[in-house]
């Protein structure tokens, strides 16, 4: 783990109306937390967890000789986040997914033709997507890589048109050559499922392009990642991995205010791991940067229900988005923009405005 083998997960998270004395803001947003789960690692015992009210955290830190790392992590948990790619991070934002692929797990083939992809991107923008994530290669479990020129052929006209219409566009790619061309075509964010570790040029390329990046965690490769994913503590290990990628970014010249992290639901994770990550996602605020969640239509939803196919997983996707909003997640990557926008609008009114009305 970072900071002397310690992480803190915010607990007892509430909106402003239910804020208890001594609670701190969560990532400078609209939520507050009044307790944490401390996660510490040692070689012999492995990961140990303890729930502590903020009132008692100072004593706990002193008795465990961890005053400085506790204070630093607490500060990162609370500090306001600067805008990410110009987007305010003090409330949840929606990233609409535009897969220009024949084989994506939930919408493969729906938008292979550029005109259709552009039209649907604009409709997502209208429906409440603050940014649009354009991808030309499926990374679903079992997928094979796509040649770079084919990936470019699929995405460039779509990026150019959407950016030309004033949409904020991210490119979902793991290839430095695609990052360069996509940014030249108007993409303003790089979203990489390998956290810029898929190619030895990725870090330097992203740094030289100077655009914000999304670092996602994946265990293994899409082709084989779901065979037998293993962790001793999924959330804590992924926290550690993302912390190390943040350090690598900083060394390469990518400032923390240009980084967003994502635990990578479904990328080398079992059902149990996915649930642990969703439940414990507030842990990642301790990295001091915005958090993104991509749970939309993923297989864990069908596994928890009646095994529905991807397009019938909208309700479960909304439940996941609301659960993430309750944990302070700043960006939701979703297929169903209008539905997510509505769900989050109700959540936000209840969580943040109900208190004003009560007062
Ligand atoms: N999930 C997918 C692709 N890219 N990027 C981030 N940051 N987080 C995610 O969870 C994520 C991602 C997979 O979903 P999708 O794009 O719909 O499918 P496919 O890879 O089959 O195109």
pLDDT in tens, 115-153: 999 999 999 999 999 999 999 999 988 888 999 999 999
For 276-296, what is each residue's pLDDT tens digit? 999 999 999 999 999 999 999
Pocket test for ligand 1, best of 95, 111, 138 (most atoms within 8 A of CB): 138
Q: What are phi and psi of 224, to 5 degrees?
A: -125, 0
What residues pair up with 36 in beta bridges, in sequence order? 10, 52
Which token pair is 303? 């596994």
- Catalytic annotation, residues: 298, 333
Any ligand 1 atom below 6 A from CB of 333: yes
Predicted confidence (pLDDT) at residue 353 exceeds the cutoff of 80: no
From 60-69, 97-106, 257-266, 304-313, the region with the lowest mean pLDDT: 97-106
Find out whether the beta carbon of 139 lies less than 6 Å from any atom of ligand 1: yes
205 touches ligand 1 (CB under 6 Å): no
Say what the pLDDT of residue 220 is.
85
Q: In this predicted structure, which of 139-148, 248-257, 299-308 has the lowest mean pLDDT?
A: 139-148
Answer for the pair 119, 155: CB distance below 8 angstroms, yes or no: no
Q: Using the mean position of ligand 1's atoms as its centre, give its distance from the Cα of residue 195 in Å.
A: 13
Measure the CA–CA gap between 131 and 110, rounded to whole angstroms.
20
Q: How far is the CA of 65 from the centre of ligand 1 (A)?
A: 41
pLDDT, residue 42, reads 84
CA of 264, closest atom in ligand 1: 10
Which residue puts its alpha carbon closest to atom 21 of ligand 1? 104
Q: What is the pLDDT of residues 206-216, one digit of tens each?
A: 999 999 999 99
pLDDT computed for residue 228 by the predictor: 85
CA 100 to ligand 1 centroid distance, Å:
12
Q: Which mutation among 101, 140, 141 tests ligand 1's pocket best, with the greatest number of atoms within 8 A of CB?
A: 140
Average pLDDT over residues 256-260: 98
- Tokens matching residue 107: 């919408």
């Amino acid at each position: 783990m970072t900071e002397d083998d310690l992480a803190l997960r915010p607990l007892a998270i509430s909106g402003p109306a239910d804020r208890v004395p001594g609670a701190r803001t969560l990532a400078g947003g609209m939520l507050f937390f009044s307790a944490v789960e401390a996660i510490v690692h040692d070689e012999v015992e492995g990961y140990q967890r303890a729930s502590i009210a903020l009132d008692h955290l100072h004593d706990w830190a002193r008795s465990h000789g961890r005053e400085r790392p506790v204070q630093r992590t607490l500060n990162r948990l609370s500090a306001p986040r600067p805008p990410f790619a110009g987007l305010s991070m003090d409330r949840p934002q929606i990233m609409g997914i535009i897969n220009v692929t024949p084989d994506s797990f939930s919408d493969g083939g729906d938008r292979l033709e550029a005109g259709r992809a552009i039209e649907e991107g604009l409709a997502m923008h209208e429906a409440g997507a603050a940014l649009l994530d354009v991808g030309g290669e499926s990374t679903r479990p079992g997928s094979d890589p796509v040649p770079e020129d084919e990936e470019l052929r699929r995405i460039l006209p779509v990026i150019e048109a959407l950016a030309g219409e004033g949409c904020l566009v991210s490119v979902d790619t793991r290839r430095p050559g695609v990052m360069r061309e996509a940014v030249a075509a108007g993409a303003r964010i790089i979203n990489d499922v390998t956290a810029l570790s898929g190619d030895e040029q990725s870090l330097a390329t992203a740094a030289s392009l100077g655009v914000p990046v999304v670092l996602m965690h994946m265990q293994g490769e899409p082709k084989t990642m779901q065979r037998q994913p293993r962790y001793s503590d999924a959330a804590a290990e992924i926290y550690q991995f993302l912390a190390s990628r943040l350090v690598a970014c900083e060394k390469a010249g990518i400032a923390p205010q240009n980084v967003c992290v994502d635990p990578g639901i479904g990328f080398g994770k079992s059902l149990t791991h996915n649930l642990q990550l969703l439940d414990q996602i507030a842990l990642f605020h301790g990295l001091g940067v915005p958090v993104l969640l991509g749970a939309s239509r993923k297989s864990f939803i069908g596994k928890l229900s009646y095994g529905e196919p991807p397009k019938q997983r909208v309700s479960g996707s909304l439940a996941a988005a609301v659960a993430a909003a309750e944990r302070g997640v700043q960006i939701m990557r979703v297929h169903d923009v209008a539905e997510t926008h509505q769900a989050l609008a109700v959540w936000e009114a209840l969580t943040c405005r109900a208190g004003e009305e009560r007062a």
